[in-house]
Structure 1
Amino acid sequence: MLQNKKLLQSSPPILPPTAPLQGQSSPSLPVLKQSCKLSRRELSISSNSSLLLLWGTQALEPIFNLSKARAEENLPNTNKNEQEEENLNCTNKVATKRAFLDISIDGKPVGRIVIGLYGDNASAGVARFSSLVSGTAGISYRRKEFIKIMPNYVQHGGVRSYGVDAELANSTGSSLAVENLKQEWERNYEQCPGTKNLAGTVSIIVRDPLKPPPKLKLVARKGKLEIDQEEVGKDPNGTEFVIATKDSPELDASALVVGRVLEGMEVVEKVGLVKTVQENTSSPYFRVAKIIGDKRAVVAERGFNRPYSKVVITNCGLME
């Protein structure tokens, strides 16, 4: 092996043929023969060195392939570990604080709901919910009603973003802006796959995915027909919340999960059994009224699934 190495060092380098420059004649045939003439010894040395180089590259090739395979394995493992951590944060949420809601139906107390809030997973949503439960925002859920009862969830009306509630909120410097809640909802929506609004979860409504774009309609004003835009409702102000009685994937596109019911799920089920205004969107009279832009159809639609009984939060606050 060492002898071959010395022979390699002593062997003359083989240079590639170069093209003749302009104005120069190509070398004659005898000159080419003389430059290419090699002895048997030199040919054997060159062939042995080429074999050694070929053997070396073949011997090192498995090592390079092994290191490449390990490098490729490490990258997916890193991504896999990150995904496992995100899924762990989505499934194993820890309640950092607790809140309570005392509920009454038609003036009769039906019990207390204790809610665990996920301060580490939805900090903005928990801060909003806590300020409204405790009253530090100047306004509170106290004496406010549940406005909608659906087969899979019950919805609280929150506080108004106008009138006395808005004045009280402004007096304490509180803001009902919903943009930070939307950003947090988008982040959680991308990170956590699957259904997020499971049975027993508490969520703040941050957007209305079913809100259609404005539609043109004909309106009679002063004996003339005018083109106007149909009312499509108002965007949520980030104070309405829902409690899921069953798994509700339909809420994932609009509600930010902030906690879960720890105690009093039977109270939530009692609220879910309250009789409501029957939905009648399939009625031909409603469809015609909706097409022609009759305001009575808009008012009737807002009243669908509203409880006949008065379901109110009589008292609420944070628990130590």
Structure 2
Amino acid sequence: MFTLISTLILLIGYCTAKQIDVTEEAIFDIAIDGKPQGTIVIALFGHETPRTVANFAKLASVQGFKGKSYRNTRFHRIIPNFMIQGGDIVRGDGRGSISIYGGRFADENFNIKHTEAGLLSMANSGPDTNGSQFFITLVPTPWLDNKHTVFGKVVSGMEVVNQVAAVQRDANDRPLQEVTITRSVTRPVNARLTIPSQ
């Protein structure tokens, strides 16, 4: 009986998890009001979402794209128990967003769901309006499924994400302290992650 129950638990766990290939990592050093807070390392799912990852990885690289990168940009929107948002390489305040494809680009797919904290997903203003802005979830956010493309996961530095989430903010969820990505680099990786699928 115990063996049967154990097998069922394993099968249920297997059926509700998804194996994802990691092709690159983005590494962000974070400062709050100029004071270093630590490093966030994000695994990127380049096989599952190649166009989305190519866009993000180029903007996260040292070279950037046409003089634009995530280095020295801010997290401009913070909502505790939801997400932190950044990536406005145009204006820095959430009103700008461009991509390496010229303007906005289409939603790639919604294969990965917003099932846990630490997932990296594209911020948009409606269908097919992806640019440079992204967010990191602080909790599972299933209401965003089939609306925003998940393309990575924080694999180190979630405590730094939570420090950012704890920054005081105004009535419009704008942080009252400057939260900055002071260093942004990428590196190739060959690994696999398990993501809850529901």
Q: TM-score range by the shorter chain?
A: 0.7 to 0.9
Task: Write the distance in 1 (CA, Å) between the matches of 2:59 and 2:44.
Answer: 13
- Does the CA contact (< 8 Å) of 1:129 and 1:239 recur in 2? yes
Q: Is the 8 A contact 1:197 1:251 kept in 2?
A: no
Shift of 1:250: 3.1
Give the whole-Å Cα distance in 1 for the aligned partners of 2:136 and 2:167: 15
User: What is the aligned partner in structure 1 of residue 4 from structure 2?
Assistant: none
What does residue 119 of structure 2 align with?
A: 201
Q: Mind listing any 5+ residue stretches in structure 1 that lack a counterpart? A: 1-86, 210-234, 279-303
Q: Which amino acid aligns with 2:181?
A: I
Distance 2:41 2:187 in 1: 9
Matched-pair contact (CA < 8 Å) for 1:155–1:243 = yes
Q: 1:105 offset after TM fit, Å?
A: 0.2
The aligned residue for residue 150 of structure 1 is 79
Number of the residue aligned with 1:307: 175
Q: Secondary structure at the match of 2:56?
A: helix
Q: Distance in 2 between matches of 1:306 and 1:140?
A: 21
The alignment's TM-score, normalised by the length of structure 1, stands at 0.47
> Counterpart of 2:137?
244
Unmatched segments (≥5 aa) in structure 2: 1-13, 189-198
Structure holding more strand per residue: 2
The offset of 1:197, in angstroms, is 5.1
Partner of 1:102: 29
Task: Report deviation, 1:113.
Answer: 0.4
Is the helix fraction higher in 1 or 2? 1
Deviations 1:162-213 (A, max 9, x none): xxxx9xx99xxx4333333x2x13xx2xx55xx435211111224437xxxx
Q: 1:282 is matched with which residue? A: none
Q: Secondary structure at the match of 1:126?
A: helix
1:317 is aligned to 2:185: yes
1:199 partner SS: coil
Distance change in 2, residues 1:254/1:205 (3 Å): farther
The structure with higher relative contact order (CA 8 Å, sep 6+) is 2
Q: Give the TM-score normalised by the residue count of structure 2.
A: 0.74
Post-superposition offset of 1:306: 0.6
Partner of 2:104: 178
Deviation (angstroms), 1:319: 2.2
Question: In 2, distance between residues paired with 1:156 and 1:178?
Answer: 16
Aligned twin of 1:129: 56
Which letter does structure 1 place at the counterpart of 2:182? T
- Residue type of the partner of 2:118? G
Percentage of identical aligned residues: 34
User: 3-state DSSP class of the match of 2:162?
Assistant: helix
| 8 Å Cα contact 1:197/1:244 also seen in 2 | no
1:118 to 40, 45, 49: 45
The C-alpha deviation readout for 1:129-177, integer Å capped at 9, x for no partner, is 001001341210111111111121100042128xxxx9xx99xxx4333
- Contact 1:141/1:159, CA 8 A, preserved across alignment: yes
Partner of 1:159: 89
Distance 1:274 1:309 in 2: 7
SS in structure 2 of the partner of residue 255 of structure 1: coil
CA RMSD of aligned residues (A): 2.7
CA distance in 1, matches of 2:169, 2:134: 18
Render the CA deviation track for 1:57-101: whole Å, top value 9, x for unaligned: xxxxxxxxxxxxxxxxxxxxxxxxxxxxxx97x711121111100
